[in-house]
Structure 1
Amino acid sequence: MTDRNQKHDRPLFRVTFSRIVGQDQRGNDILGRPKEIGAVWPRKKGKTGGILSLDIIPVELTQRQGVIFVLPVGGDDDAGAQ
């Protein structure tokens, strides 16, 4: 396998979702623990952008009761994602 092919064996980004579990004294949202719900994969043949693949679609997402995070794979936050 060439280096170029190995690069595409992994997603570009992890997609996580955190539910809003409450509000602090200032009215800011308090987020729960992030849960990995999918990934962004590179497109083939050098096309720009990525393909979002969701394994789970949280009900809270449709009700705007949470936040989606997109984290680079292999980044500093990669080890902490669940």
Structure 2
Amino acid sequence: MTNEKQTKAKPSHRVSFSRIIGSNDDGSDKLGPAREIGAVWERKGDKKGGILQLDHIPVELTRHEGVIFVVPVE
């Protein structure tokens, strides 16, 4: 065993979901509060893109009754 510090990888993006709870006066969707449902992890090496890990899949997502936000981790 070595005494070197092992660094844990951190996600590059957070993934959140907001339900559509109605519509505004102009007809656009009104969204409820966003709930974090997962994260995106960078691929290792020279591979491009990321790996999406969802911890929760809202049933509204399957019915097109909400939106997903992908926000970079600062």
TM-score interval for Structure 1 and Structure 2 normalised by the shorter chain: 0.7 to 0.9
Q: Secondary structure at the match of 2:10?
A: coil
Question: What is the number of equivalent residue pairs in this alignment?
Answer: 71
More helix by share: 1
Match of 2:15 in 1: 15
Corresponding residue number in structure 2 for 1:55: 55
Computing the radius of gyration over CA atoms, which structure comes out larger, 1 or 2? 2
Instruction: Tell me, in whole angstroms, the C-alpha distance in 1 between the residues paired with 2:54 and 2:48.
Output: 20
**Ranges in structure 2 where 5+ consecutive residues have no aligned partner:** none
Report sequence identity in percent: 56
Greater share of strand = 2
Alpha-carbon offset, residue 24 of structure 1? 1.0
Q: Which runs of 5+ in 1 are unaligned?
A: 75-82
Query: What is the TM-score when the length of structure 1 is the normalising length?
Result: 0.79
CA distance in 1, matches of 2:61, 2:19: 8
1:42 aligns with 2:42: yes
- State the 1:27 CA deviation: 0.9
* RMSD (Å) for aligned C-alpha atoms: 1.7
**Moved >6 Å (runs of 4+):** none
| 3-state secondary structure, aligned to 2:45 | helix
In 2, the alpha carbon distance for the partners of 1:49 and 1:24 equals 35
